[in-house]
Structure 1
Amino acid sequence: MQRRFTLLILVAMILGVIVGHLCNQGAESAEAAKEIAGYFSIVTDVFLRLIKMIIAPLVFSTLVVGIAHMEDGASVGRVGMKTMIWFIGASAVSLVMGSIMVNLLQPGVGLDLPLPDAAQHADIATGGMSLKEFITHLVPRSIAEAMANNEILQIVVFSIFVGIALTQLGEKGRLVAQFADQLAHVMLKITGYVMMSAPIAVFAAVAATVTTQGLNILTVYGKFVGSFYLSLLMLWCVLVFAGFLVLRGRITGLVRAIREPTLLSFSTASSEAAYPKTLERLEEFGVPNRIASFVLPLGYSFNLDGSMMYCTFATLFIAQAYGIELTLAQQVTMCLLLMVTSKGMAGVPRASLVVIAATLAHFNIPEAGLLLVLAVDQFLDMGRSATNVVGNSVATAVVAKWEGQLTSTRDRIVAET
C-alpha cells in the first residue's frame, strides 16, 4: 500500500509537469497562463483546506492523550527540554550550512539577469515578528481563535495545560482522555479519506506551478536552484547522520518510513499537508504517540530546517547579486539574528520571505533583491517543505530514543496483541 501511494504521487508529479508545460506553451499570454493555472489551483486549494480542517483537532487530541499518558508534569518538562536542545542544534546547523554553501557555490556572482532597481519594493512586509510579539503570541487569547487560524504553537500550549490537568484529575481525567483518544482516532480516519485525493492534488499543484512559471525559468535560475537543492541534499545527509549517531541501524527504517510524507510535502510545497501522514508513519516506526504528538507539533514552529537554511542562503545570494560583501562577523551576526527572528515563521504568511525581507533591511541589502527569488520561490518551497518534514521526523525519533521509548515493529505488534 505504501509503495502504491508513493508510485501514485510520482506519476502525478510527472503528469503535472507534462500537462503544465503543454498549458504554458499553449497559453497566448502570461495572463492566460495564470487563468489556466487558477483552475488547477482549485483542486490544490481544496486539498490543503481539507488538511487544515483536520490539523487543529488532530494536534489537540493526540497531544492531550500523549501528555495524559505521561507519568507527571516532570515527564513533560524532560521531554520538552530534550526536544528544544535538538531543535536549537538543528537550527544552528541549518543556518550555518546555508551560509557556508552559498559562500562556496557563489550562485549570485556573475548572475546573468537584470537586477531590480534598488529603489523598488517587493511588496512584502518586513516587520515579521519581534521577540516580544513571539513570546506573547505563544499564549492564545482564545482556543477557538487559535484553532480557527490553525495556530499550531498556541494549540500546543493549550493542549499541554489540558494534558497536565488531566493527569491530576484521576478517574475524571481518564474519562476526558478517553474522549480525546476517540477523537484522535476519528481524525485519523478522516485523514485516510483526505489522503485518497492526494495524488490528484499533487498533479494539480505541479501543473499550476509549471503553467505559470514554465520550465524555462529553471534554466534561467539553474545555478541558484541547483545550488540550493545541492545544499538541501547536504543538510539531509547531516540530519540523517546525526540521527544515525543516536538511532544507529534503525535510521534506514526511519528514512523508508517517512518517504511518503516527504514526497507529499515536496509535491504540494506544504509541510502542513504531510503532518497527518508523518505522525502516522512515525508511530508505525515505533515512536510512541505521547512522544510523536508532542514533539512533531513543536517542530512545526521551532524546527523548520529547510526554511532556516533558505533564509541565510537567499539573503547572501541577493547580497552576491548586488556585489555586496558581508564580513564573517556580519554573517555570524546574521545567523544569530535569524535564530531568534525565524522562530516566529510558523505564524506568518509567506514566512521565509518575510524573515528574509527583514534581514535584508537590517544589513542594508536592497529589498528589491527579493524579486530575484520570488520567480522561483515555489520551486524552492517544495525542497524546504520536504526538508522540514525530514528534520522533524529525525528529531521526533531521536527524542523517543533518548527517552528509551522507541520500540521495534515486533515489540509494537506484541504489545497490541
Structure 2
Amino acid sequence: MQIGALTAPDGQPVKRKPLYAQLYFQVLFAIFMGGLIGHFFPSTIGPDGQAIAGLGEQLKPLGDGFIKLVKMIIAPVIFLTIVTGIAGISNLGSVGRVVGKAFAYFLTFSTLALIVGLIIANLVQPGRGLNIDPASLDAAAVADYAAKAHESTIVGFLLSIIPDTVVSAFSEGNILQVLFISVLFGIALVMVGDAGKPVLRLLESLSTAFFKLVAILMKAAPIGAFGAFAFTIGKYGIGSIANLAALVATFYVTAAVFVFGILGLVAWANGFSIFKLVRYLKEELLLVLGTSSSEAALPSLLQKMERAGASKSVVGLVVPTGYSFNLDGTNIYMTMAALFIAQALNIELTLTQQITLLLVAMLSSKGAAGITGAGFITLAATLSVVPDVPVAGMALILGIDRFMSECRALTNFIGNAVATLVVARWEGELDRDALATALSKQPTALAAPADPAAGPGDKSVLADD
C-alpha cells in the first residue's frame, strides 16, 4: 500500500477521486464561472432610467434555491444531533458545564474581535479623507434596517427563544428555538431512563437518514454557488467596491489577522493547526464564500467536527449556539464599519465614545442574534444608541455590504469550528487521534465514524480528498 493512501474500514485501499469529481473543485469552478457570467452580463440602466436585470442577476434563484434546500433540513439535523448527543450523556451536569464553557469562550473572543476591529480601524483609518457631508446622506436607504434594529431588544430576544409551539420552532426554522427544544427534550429523554431507549434508537435511525439527505443535497452545492456569485457580481459589480476599496481591504486583512493570528494561537495552544483546520474545511468554506451564507455549510460542519474527534454532545451544543452567539466576523465588521462612517463624515470620536461604542456593540450583537442580515441590522442598532455617529451614515457602505458579508460569514464559520474543538478539549471530549487523522489526511481518514448515527453515505461528501 502506498504511504498516505486512503483506506476503507475493511483495510482495502480507496481509489482517490479525480480532481473534477471533488466537491471543493466543483464549487471553486462554479464560483469562477459565476463571476465571469456576472461580469460580462451585468445589470444595466435602460433609457428610461429603470434597472434592467442582466443574466448574472437573473441566476439569483439558483443560489436562493440551494440555500432554501439546506435551511429545510437544518432544524431536524440540529434536533437529532443534540438530542442523541445529550441522551448519550450519563451525567446531565456535564450539559450545563459544556454550555457554560462555550459561552465563556464566545464572550471572550467576540469581545476580542470587537477590540481588534476598533484598533485596526484607528490605525489604518480607511474612511479618512472622504469628507462626506452628513446632509447628503440618504437616510431612506437604511430606514428598513434601522426599523428592524429598533425592534431588536435584549428582552425581546430572550423571549423569542421560547417558541409559540413545539412545531412552530421547526416550521419557522429558528435555530435558537430548535436548540432550546432540543436541549429540553434530550434532558427529558435521559431522565425517563430505559423507557426512552426505543425513542433514542428511532432518532438515531432518523439521524442516519437525514445525514444521507445532507450528502444528496450537497451535490447541488456547485449550482447554488454558481447562481449566488453570478448574482453578486452581476448586480453590484467589482467596480462598486472601487471607491470603498480601503474599507473592504482593511476588513479582509483584519479578518485574516484574527483567524490566522489570534485563532491560530488558540488552535496551537490546544494542539492543532489553524491552517490544517482550514484545509480540512475547504469544501465548506468555498460554499460559504459562494453563497455568502454560513448556514449553507452548517450540516456539514456538524458532521466534520464529529469526524475530527469532538463528541456528539459537544458538537450539538456548541455549533448551533455559536451560530448565534459566536460571530467573530460580524463583530470585527461592526466596530470597523462604525469608525469608517465616523471618519468619512469627519466626526472625531473620543476614547470614551469609542469604548461606549464597543460596549453597546457587545450587547446589540446578542440582541440581533438569529436575525437574517444580522450584521447590518446589528450595526444599525449600535449606531442608533450612539448618537455621535448618524445611522444614515450606513448608506455609505450599503453598496459593498454584500462583498463584506462573505468575509463575515467565513470568519464566523472558522471561529465556530475552532470553538467546538477547544470546548471539546476543555471538556475532555476530544479524540486526539481522530483529530490528527482528520487534519493530516492519514491512511484512516475514511474510517467508519464513531457515532452510529453517521451513516456510510456520509463519506462521499465528508472525506478530505
Task: State TM-score, norm by structure 2.
Answer: 0.84
For 1:243, the aligned partner's letter is A
Structure 2 equivalent of residue 49 of structure 1 = 68
Structure 1 equivalent of residue 10 of structure 2 = none
Cα distance between partner residues in 2 of 1:119 and 1:20? 27
Contact 1:253 1:285 in 2 (8 A): no
Q: 1:217 to 1:113 in 2, by over 3 A?
A: farther
Structure 1 residue runs without a partner (length 5+): none
Contact 1:40 1:205 in 2 (8 A): yes
Contact 1:116 1:371 in 2 (8 A): no
Cα distance between partner residues in 2 of 1:31 and 1:235? 42
**Aligned match for 1:20, one of 33, 38, 46:** 38
Structure 1 equivalent of residue 83 of structure 2 = 64
**Aligned match for 1:141, one of 164, 169, 172:** 164
Contact 1:254 1:285 in 2 (8 A): no
Contact 1:118 1:367 in 2 (8 A): no
Structure 1 equivalent of residue 269 of structure 2 = 245
1:221-266 residue CA offsets vs partner (Å, 9 max, x unmatched)? 21111111111111112112212212x2454443322222122112
Q: Does 1:223 align with 2:223?
A: no
Q: Which moved more, 1:294-303 or 1:125-134?
A: 125-134
Q: Does 1:382 align with 2:400?
A: no
How far did 1:276 drift?
0.9
Structure 1 equivalent of residue 227 of structure 2 = 204
How far did 1:220 drift?
2.0
Q: How many residues align?
A: 416
Q: 1:251 to 1:313 in 2, by over 3 A?
A: closer
Contact 1:23 1:211 in 2 (8 A): yes
**Aligned match for 2:368, one of 345, 355, 376:** 345
Q: 1:33 to 1:278 in 2, by over 3 A?
A: farther
1:69-103 residue CA offsets vs partner (Å, 9 max, x unmatched)? 11222010111111111111111111111111111
Cα distance between partner residues in 1 of 2:210 and 2:172? 18
| Greater Rg over alpha carbons, structure | 2
Please state whether the residue corresponding to 2:59 is helix, strand or coil: helix
Structure 2 equivalent of residue 268 of structure 1 = 291
Structure 2 residue runs without a partner (length 5+): 1-16, 438-443, 453-465
Structure 2 equivalent of residue 110 of structure 1 = 129
Cα distance between partner residues in 2 of 1:2 and 1:305? 36
Q: 1:188 to 1:244 in 2, by over 3 A?
A: same
Q: Does 1:132 align with 2:150?
A: no
Percent identical pairs in the alignment equals 35
How far did 1:26 drift?
7.4
Structure 2 equivalent of residue 8 of structure 1 = 26
Contact 2:240 2:400 in 1 (8 A): yes
Cα distance between partner residues in 2 of 1:203 and 1:220? 26
Cα RMSD between the aligned structures? 2.3
Structure 2 equivalent of residue 166 of structure 1 = 189
Structure 1 equivalent of residue 416 of structure 2 = 392
How far did 1:15 drift?
1.0
Cα distance between partner residues in 2 of 1:26 and 1:312? 34
Cα distance between partner residues in 1 of 2:306 and 2:134? 48
Q: Does 1:295 align with 2:313?
A: no
**Aligned match for 1:151, one of 170, 174, 186:** 174
**Aligned match for 1:366, one of 390, 414, 438:** 390
How far did 1:275 drift?
0.2
Contact 2:302 2:316 in 1 (8 A): yes
Task: State TM-score, norm by structure 1.
Answer: 0.94
For 2:161, the aligned partner's letter is L
Q: Does 1:236 align with 2:236?
A: no
1:132-164 residue CA offsets vs partner (Å, 9 max, x unmatched)? 112212222212111122111111111111011
Structure 2 equivalent of residue 277 of structure 1 = 300
For 1:288, the aligned partner's letter is S
Please state whether the residue corresponding to 1:397 is helix, strand or coil: helix
Cα distance between partner residues in 2 of 1:25 and 1:135? 41
Structure 2 equivalent of residue 185 of structure 1 = 208
Structure 1 equivalent of residue 440 of structure 2 = none
For 1:323, the aligned partner's letter is N
Contact 1:119 1:366 in 2 (8 A): no
Cα distance between partner residues in 1 of 2:315 and 2:240? 39
Return the structure number with greater helix share. Answer: 1
Contact 2:264 2:273 in 1 (8 A): no
Cα distance between partner residues in 2 of 1:116 and 1:353? 22
For 2:329, the aligned partner's letter is G
For 2:226, the aligned partner's letter is F
Cα distance between partner residues in 2 of 1:270 and 1:224? 21
**Aligned match for 1:74, one of 66, 87, 93:** 93
**Aligned match for 1:92, one of 99, 102, 111:** 111
How is 1:33-48 mapped onto 2 (pairs within 5 angstroms)?
33-34=52-53, 36-48=55-67
Structure 2 equivalent of residue 336 of structure 1 = 359
